[in-house]
């Protein structure tokens, strides 16, 4: 089920990343604890009052690699947010008051993107009308700063939320407002949602559209010629070896090559949307370029969002024959993707088609592994044995005790453990238990969520991990 997107827009230095970190809160810390994932993430999953949504700090959106804070870049980021976000938080600095750039952004938010097509413009305008825009006045650390907020009303939007992202003041109320503005949660999946859903993701020029064409060119792939009424025209539906498959948001991948406007190009935020609608992410990296932070970020987000992951190493025709084997890449990529060691690695060349035939079966296997049922008897036996073999360490004289474990009915493989005290599970022991569960049940390509419930009635703690 796709999580809605909340985007933070605003000029540099108003505190976007501080607010981002506040909103992600504990979840961020959890994912960052996984060794090997770099910290400067720009999007993550937040949870507020039981609802999950994706938060994006637009400042970092990679627009064809142009990571600058020029006016043009800020405008571009804002337009992407208008296009893709369900709720926009427009952040300003209450102490500095309104600057010309703030006013520019406000104007864009009011009128929406002049480059967008007619229907997109109407849609965007409607979105703003639905009050899915929240102005937040940051750096209101003391009551003295609060009177400055009046100036912000001249922007023509609703009353701003006064916050101090740094001190956490007003952030809860802001999240309440954001939550109220989100579209209602999706219900049951539509027909056709049953198909295995794959999202092709990656930086510009790694070969996503070439890969798409290579996959569609496979003789086992039958592309549906007429999109039906319930189907999304941005997706590509096919039957692969008799299995219905949806390649999510292929329009976003194709469109970029024919477009004049770089905004129409395949943006990261658009990719996040695609990822949210998928079961498994095919993260494409370039064999000749190596791993970049952004590649890791995408993998980290797939982990956090609970999606399956296949790392596709494209352009292997450009490297030595010895470097075209899966074993080589598994080893070479391990340090960069420590936190996602469960992901299979598929070296391919979209150009020569080497490895292409094996990719779809791997991806479909990962979807299949998501749906594995762990019978309660077996799951409890595996965990009991793990506890016996290697008992948990004591902590302040107490030891973690497991009463019972069961699989939760979640899209992401999830095991719920009822224990004496959730605070007694150490990180390394969690790793150990996960390893034992994986040894028995596989779950290849998928994150495994271990949720602890305490009999003392504490709040559950979740953590997605390898």
**What residues line the site for ligand GDP (CB under 6 A)?**
202, 204-210, 253, 314-315, 317-318, 349-351
Q: What's the DSSP call for residue 408? A: -
CB of 210 to ligand GDP, least distance (A): 4
Report the residue number, 76 or 88, with the smaller CB distance to ligand GDP: 76
Q: In the bound complex, what is the minimum distance in angstroms from residue 406's beta carbon to ligand GDP?
A: 42
Taking the least distance from each CB to ligand GDP, the nearer of 144 and 257 is 257
CB neighbour list of residue 100: distance below 8 Å, 6 or more residues apart = none
Residue 380: phi and psi, rounded to 5, are -70, -35
Ordered DSSP codes for 422-448: GGG--HHHHHHHHHHHHHHH--TTS-E
The dihedral region occupied by 35, where left means phi > 0, alpha psi between -120 and 50, and beta the remainder, is: beta
Which C-beta is closer to ligand GDP: that of 161 or that of 210? 210
CB 348 to ligand GDP: min, Å: 7
Q: Which is nearer to ligand GDP, 206 or 417 (CB)?
A: 206
Residue 49 has, within 13 A of its CA and on its CB side, a CA count of: 10
**Residue 363 in contact with residue 344, Cβ under 8 Å?**
no
Other beta carbons within 10 angstroms of residue 247's beta carbon come to 26
Considering beta carbons, is residue 52 or 317 the nearer one to ligand GDP? 317
Least Å from the CB of residue 356 to ligand GDP: 9
Question: Residue 79 CB, nearest distance to ligand GDP (Å)?
Answer: 20
Nearest approach, Cβ of 459 to ligand GDP (angstroms)?
A: 42
When the beta carbons of 17 and 205 are compared against ligand GDP, the nearer one is 205
Q: How many CA atoms lie within 13 A of 358 on its CB side?
A: 14
The nearest distance, CB 215 to ligand GDP, in angstroms, is: 12
Quick check: 343 and 299 in contact, CB under 8 A? yes
Kindly report the length of the chain.
Answer: 466
In the complex, which residue's CB is closest to ligand GDP? 207
Choice between 115 and 265, CB closer to ligand GDP: 265
3-state secondary structure of 418: strand
Cβ atoms of residues 271 and 204 within 8 Å: no
């Amino acid at each position: 089920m796709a999580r809605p997107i909340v985007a933070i827009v605003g000029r540099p230095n108003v505190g976007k990343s501080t607010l981002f970190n506040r909103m992600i809160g504990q979840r961020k810390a959890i994912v960052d604890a996984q060794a090997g994932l770099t910290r400067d993430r720009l999007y993550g999953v937040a949870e507020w009052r039981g609802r999950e949504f994706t938060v994006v700090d637009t400042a970092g959106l990679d627009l064809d690699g142009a990571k600058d804070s020029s006016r043009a870049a800020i405008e571009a980021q804002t337009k992407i947010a208008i296009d893709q976000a369900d709720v926009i938080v427009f952040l300003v600095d209450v102490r500095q008051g309104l600057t010309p750039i703030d006013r520019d952004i406000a104007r864009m938010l009011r009128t929406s993107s002049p480059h967008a097509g007619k229907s997109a413009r109407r849609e965007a305008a409607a979105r703003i009308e639905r009050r899915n825009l929240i102005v937040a006045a940051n750096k209101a650390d003391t009551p003295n700063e609060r009177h400055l907020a009046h100036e912000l009303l001249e922007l023509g939007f609703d009353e701003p939320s006064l916050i101090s992202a740094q001190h956490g003041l007003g952030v809860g109320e802001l999240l309440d407002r954001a939550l109220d503005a989100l579209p209602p949660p999706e219900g049951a999946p539509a027909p056709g949602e049953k198909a295995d859903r794959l999202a092709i993701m990656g930086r510009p020029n790694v070969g996503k559209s070439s890969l798409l064409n290579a996959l569609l060119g496979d003789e086992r792939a039958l592309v549906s010629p007429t999109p039906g009424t319930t189907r999304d025209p941005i997706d590509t539906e096919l039957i692969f070896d008799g299995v219905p498959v949806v390649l999510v948001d292929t329009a976003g991948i194709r469109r970029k090559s024919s477009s004049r406007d770089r905004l129409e190009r395949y943006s990261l935020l658009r990719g996040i949307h695609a990822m949210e609608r998928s079961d498994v992410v095919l993260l494409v990296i370039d064999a000749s370029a190596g791993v970049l932070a952004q590649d890791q970020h995408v993998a980290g987000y797939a982990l956090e969002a609970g999606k399956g992951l296949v790392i596709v190493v494209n352009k292997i025709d450009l490297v030595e024959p010895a470097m075209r084997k899966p074993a080589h890449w598994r080893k070479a990529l391990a340090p960069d993707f420590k936190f996602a060691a469960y992901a299979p690695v598929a070296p391919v060349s979209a150009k020569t088609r080497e490895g292409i035939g094996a990719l779809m079966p791997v991806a479909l296997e990962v979807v299949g592994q998501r749906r594995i049922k762990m019978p309660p008897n077996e799951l409890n036996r595996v965990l009991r044995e793990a506890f016996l073999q290697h008992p948990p360490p004591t902590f302040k004289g107490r030891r973690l005790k497991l009463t019972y474990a069961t699989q939760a009915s979640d899209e992401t493989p999830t095991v719920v453990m009822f224990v004496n005290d959730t605070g007694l599970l150490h990180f390394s022991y969690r790793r150990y238990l996960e390893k034992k569960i994986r040894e028995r049940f596989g779950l290849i390509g998928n994150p495994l969520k271990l949720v602890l419930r305490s009999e003392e009635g504490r709040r559950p703690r979740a953590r997605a991990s390898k």
